[in-house]
Structure 1
Amino acid sequence: MELKRVVVTGLGALTPIGNNIQEYWNGLINGVSGAAPITYYDTEKHKTKFACEVKNFNVEEFIDRKEARRMDKFAQYAIVASDEAILDAGITGDNVDKHRVGVIWGAGIGGLETFQEEVLYYAKGDGTPKFNPFFIPKMIADIAPAHISMKNGFMGPNYTTVSACASSANALIDAFNYIRLGLCDVIISGGSEAAVTIAGMGGFNSMHALSTRNDSPETASRPFDATRDGFVLGEGAGALVLEEYEHAKARGAKIYCEVGGGGMSSDAYHLTAPHPEGIGVIAVMKNCLRDAKMNPEDIDHINTHGTSTPLGDVAELKAISAVFGDHAKKININSTKSMTGHLLGAAGGIEAIASILAIKHGIIPPTINHSVVDENINPELNLTLNKAQKRDIKVAMSNTFGFGGHNACVLFKKLED
């Protein structure tokens, strides 16, 4: 069976550094930090008092007030980003077969704010189980793609992938496979997350996973820096329209790039910590290269998982050196989490978009906030530190890993007719 070619025809983003694709890209190439003191609740008694919140966002500008009240914030974000991607791709009811258009979405947690609010409300009562009738439909992780499909009438495959912080990268790989197997023409994919809540921040703090650099939030996310002390929690959504190449050509769609391949693996090591030698990361990048039928020397750029944690950053860079050998020194490596923070289940989506836009514009966004060299990191690696770098990029990889040892890697390449 000959596999179909898959391309990207639409992008949408709602992030801590920009509420649409153009704003997001401008924030990336200019090294803007999205971290700031939390505005959603009183942080006086919290260890970490900052995060990368979505800013200047009024949901009623995008979604009817009554409808928005029936959605958790993570689903609202999904609607806004997917609307932009669908419009960008020029998808209408007249130029697609809606039975062959699917929605495969990623979310690591789902409606955490809804769960928190309902449980706290119950706890204040007399023990009578009184809950909002929309409690469960707002909370469950699969509801975001359901809203996207219902709004647009898309009747193809519809579900959510849940693999912690690898969730939306896994969603992209699933979407890629459905299309190249000829089962769909178009799939809206990506991910969303809205975990900047008392429960989300408190839970990650209890694991000692978050930075506590409260005196300088904007510099707290510092991947690869020797003084990094944990990740900065972010929120938002990234949406991509994946489409079968001939289908896209037939309707005259603009094409950003081709999806070259996808890889998956498991660390099989620890609930939250990566294998110190990056064994699972080595496997996932090799699997991705194999799927794309490419050699290590073909890769120009890697958008790393790069969360700014002491263990994770070193393990990932060790794995890159192991897979790419001497060529690793010629790759532009970066971590856009230095600007956006860590969007958990949405990370793979917004970082795939960053990789695609890097190919399109020939610019590698920087890894900001780096000042102290880590002696455990190979100094010959080009980590694109503090300033964007121009480069002709033919092939880019995006790495995304999740608690539980879930690893996903997606490869994008310039379209060649």
Structure 2
Amino acid sequence: MLEPTPFHAAVTGIGLVTPAGIGVEASWRTILAGRPTATVDHALEGMPVDFTCRVPGFDADALLGRRTAWRLDRYVHLALVAAREAIADAGLDPSSWDGSRVGVVMGNALGGVATFAAQHETLLTDGAGKVSSLLIPMMGVNMVAGYLAIDCGALGPNLVTTTACASATTAIGTARDLLRSGRCDVVLAGGAEAGLSKPILAGFTRMGALSGRVDDPAAASRPFEQDRDGFVAAEGAGVLVLEREEHAVARGARIRARVSGYGASADAHHATAPDPSGAGVEAAIRSALDDAGLAPSDVDHVNAHGTSTRPGDAVEAQVLRRLFPDGPAVTSVKGVTGHSLGAAGAIEAACTVLSIEDGLVPPTANLDTPDPELDIDVVHTAPRAVAVAAATSNSFGFGGQNAVLVLTAA
């Protein structure tokens, strides 16, 4: 039997809106500097954990126009700004493309929970007659993909993947499958999340998932650190423009990197805790490498899920030790950005593209004393120069949902 030929989806554009900055340049500069973004969140006043990583200075009215902004939830605001940057970066013109060949696949975990929380309060205080008629289209998990399509005239397949914190990575893998099938020439793929509301933070706090460093928020997100105690909740959006390589080459596009493999698995173990054996994580990574036609020894860099929780980081490190004995350079950008749930995988895939392009792996912020039990090569203190020909970008979510991308140099 002939081995299948690996399929490479060309990454021709990226867009970012993160706590590290609005736009790719601002975000990447802060991430390379290893500057944490967690700070006290005044919207959470009175909560036991009152700090998050929010996008700084984000003005939806100024960026999107008030007429557009008022009828959309914040998670869609972030996605639209990131998508517009990605499309422009790819050199595409939506006014002239064949929209029937353009798809949208976005990841999201929570939907418009801020809108829901606000309208629930309206219901309780003012009655049902005062609830906004826009509640349903503002809060729906699927609406981010729909609104992106409306914004740019993408008439092809349109969907949202929701696999908790793996949602955006699942979206990018699904987008690649659409290109491989020939159904699309271009797919906008990524994720968006803006769930920093009191009910959501209360739920995570009750679970014991969040860091409790209320006296030093900036130091709270510390992936792979010896004294890590939980993640910092964040918001953000990342969008990649993926194309069939022949389509990108035919129009003379700059190919920034390639998505060459995708793997997914389920732990089938526990609702919120990772399988301590790491079997599902390992299966997803091996599946992605097999899909790309690569061996573990080909991997130069791992952009880890690395949330700063004790069990999550330990399981991921255990798998990386087993799979990659040569010790690729590992980083977690969540030390800077916090954990943006359904958007995290897209932000991290974009960072992996930038690492491939720039030959730089960003440092893991707040990693002062690496946990000696983890025993992996985590980049910290400063960026490291690494010639990255192939990298994995890992994402794992509640429900035991694992998704991994292999990205390679163009």
TM-score above 0.5: yes
The answer on 1:366 being equivalent to 2:363 is yes
Instruction: Provide the TM-score with structure 1 as the length reference.
Output: 0.95
**How far apart are 1:372 and its partner, in Å?**
2.7
In structure 1, the residue matched to 2:10 is 7
Match of 1:400, SS state, is strand
**How far apart are 1:321 and its partner, in Å?**
1.3
The answer on 1:300 being equivalent to 2:300 is yes
**How far apart are 1:197 and its partner, in Å?**
1.2
Equivalent position amino acid for 1:390 in 2? A
Deviations 1:109-134, CA, capped at 9 Å, x for gaps: 110101111111112245x4642100
**How far apart are 1:374 and its partner, in Å?**
2.1
**How far apart are 1:373 and its partner, in Å?**
3.6
In structure 2, the residue matched to 1:332 is 329
The answer on 1:345 being equivalent to 2:348 is no
- Going from structure 1 to structure 2, the CA distance change for 1:377 and 1:97 (only over 3 Å counts) comes to same
Equivalent position to 2:393, from 373, 398, 412: 398
- Preserved contact between residue 7 and residue 292 of structure 2 (Cα < 8 Å): no
**How far apart are 1:13 and its partner, in Å?**
0.3
Moved more, 59-68 or 209-218: 59-68
In structure 2, the residue matched to 1:119 is 120
In structure 2, the residue matched to 1:48 is 49
- Preserved contact between residue 175 and residue 242 of structure 2 (Cα < 8 Å): yes
- Preserved contact between residue 6 and residue 292 of structure 2 (Cα < 8 Å): no
What pairs up with 1:166-245 in 2 under 5 angstroms? 166-245=166-245
Deviations 1:186-221, CA, capped at 9 Å, x for gaps: 000100000111112111111111011011111100
What pairs up with 1:267-286 in 2 under 5 angstroms? 267-286=267-286
Match of 1:252, SS state, is coil
Match of 1:404, SS state, is coil
- Preserved contact between residue 4 and residue 181 of structure 1 (Cα < 8 Å): no
Q: Distance in 2 between matches of 1:61 and 1:277?
A: 49
Match of 1:231, SS state, is coil
Q: Distance in 2 between matches of 1:135 and 1:321?
A: 47
Gaps of 5+ in 2: none
**How far apart are 1:5 and its partner, in Å?**
3.4
Question: Which 4+ residue blocks in structure 1 deviate beyond 3 angstroms?
Answer: 1-5
Equivalent position amino acid for 1:285 in 2? I
Aligned residues: 407
Gaps of 5+ in 1: none
**How far apart are 1:69 and its partner, in Å?**
1.0
- Going from structure 1 to structure 2, the CA distance change for 1:191 and 1:303 (only over 3 Å counts) comes to same
Equivalent position amino acid for 2:362 in 1? P
Deviations 1:75-96, CA, capped at 9 Å, x for gaps: 0111000000001111114653
Deviations 1:258-284, CA, capped at 9 Å, x for gaps: 111100000100000101121111111
Equivalent position amino acid for 2:342 in 1? G
- Preserved contact between residue 165 and residue 400 of structure 1 (Cα < 8 Å): yes
Q: Distance in 1 between matches of 2:306 and 2:271?
A: 18
The answer on 1:82 being equivalent to 2:83 is yes
Instruction: Provide the TM-score with structure 2 as the length reference.
Output: 0.97
Deviations 1:269-323, CA, capped at 9 Å, x for gaps: 0000101121111111011111111101000000010000010000001011122
In structure 1, the residue matched to 2:408 is 413
